[in-house]
Amino acid sequence: MSLLPEVAVGALLEPRPESAELVVEVLAGRRGFTRAIRSPHVQKTGLALAGFHEYIRPGRILVFGESEVRFLESRTPAERVALAARLLEHDIPCILSTAGLTPVAELVDACELAGVPLLVTPTSTGTAIAKITARLEEHLAERTTVHGTLVDLLGLGVLILGESGIGKSECALDLIARGHRLVADDVVDIHRRAESFLDGTGPEAMRFFMEVRGVGLIDVQALYGVSAISVTKQVGLVVQLERWDERHEYERLGLDEQWYTLLDVRVPLVRMPVAPGRSVATLVEVAARHQLLKARGYHPARELTERLAERRGTPEPESDR
């Protein structure tokens, strides 16, 4: 049975270079940093404070904006204590107060007692929700690892797959020498974003290192500079390198679309036969340029087919007699 993804409150607050900065101050409940967040969606607490507790969803961050803070301030101390106690009876990972607003002391004390982190950010409510949601989607995204190489080719993320020793790294090295960027080699971490997008990156410990047979491990960033690397890239094309087999019928026109499925997301696929004398890097670059053209609405195979069909449908001019 697969477990639902979750992230601890403390891990969510750790700085990440690829994520938008999120400035927070911990007012109470620091010992609850291990509490689990299970949904990328946050929830506002207006209805819950008004007594509609069935609207509180477990595992979601509660957001306090100005209306919630002012509502609690308008209650008597005894009412504040009761409201805070009822609120914290639910499975709440943490409470985030926005726009620099400090909640009432009764809620601060209740959070400290219950071990529920109470956070305050100076960011406005809308911006804070957008930032925290982006981080949650990143942490809670479905993930997988593939054996391959991911390169940034003219802005298109190209995932190169194939059996061990077929030349994936050498192909990527050729592309880097032509001015393209390496994202990951050998091990590519893939996570699904917003249901239909796949982002790829390399494990942090081995990021931008590449194994080249006969040379050994090389550091692409040290050799070629920062312009030759990219931390992450959306996968827009999969190129499957295959050893040339004369018995196999390879695609020649490109009319039939092929797809590769990762994490239930379909990505355009090109099967590339590898044989002596074929420049694999050139072919992969052409495949990437071809895919970019198709993404802009120009499909060469269909264009030629339509031209030929129009020509066949046009009567030939009569010869002079």
243 noted as active-site residue: no
Please answer whether residues 287 and 272 qualify as being in contact, where contact means their C-beta atoms are separated by less than 8 angstroms.
yes
Q: Is residue 318 within a helix (H) or strand (E), and if so which, with residue range?
A: none
Half-sphere exposure in the Cβ direction for 138 (13 Å, CA): 18
Q: How far apart are CA 311 and CA 31, in angstroms?
A: 76
User: Which of 109, 186, 193, 266 is flagged as catalytic?
Assistant: 186
Residue found under tokens 């990143």: 138
Q: How far apart are CA 287 and CA 160, in angstroms?
A: 11
* Number of helical H runs and strand E runs in the chain: 10, 16
User: Which of 213, 252, 296, 312 is flagged as catalytic?
Assistant: 252
70 noted as active-site residue: no
Q: Which amino acid is at 302?
A: R
User: Which of 35, 168, 180, 290 is flagged as catalytic?
Assistant: 168
Q: How far apart are CA 234 and CA 198, in angstroms?
A: 6
147 noted as active-site residue: yes
Q: Which amino acid is at 217?
A: L
Active site residue ranges: 147, 168, 186, 252
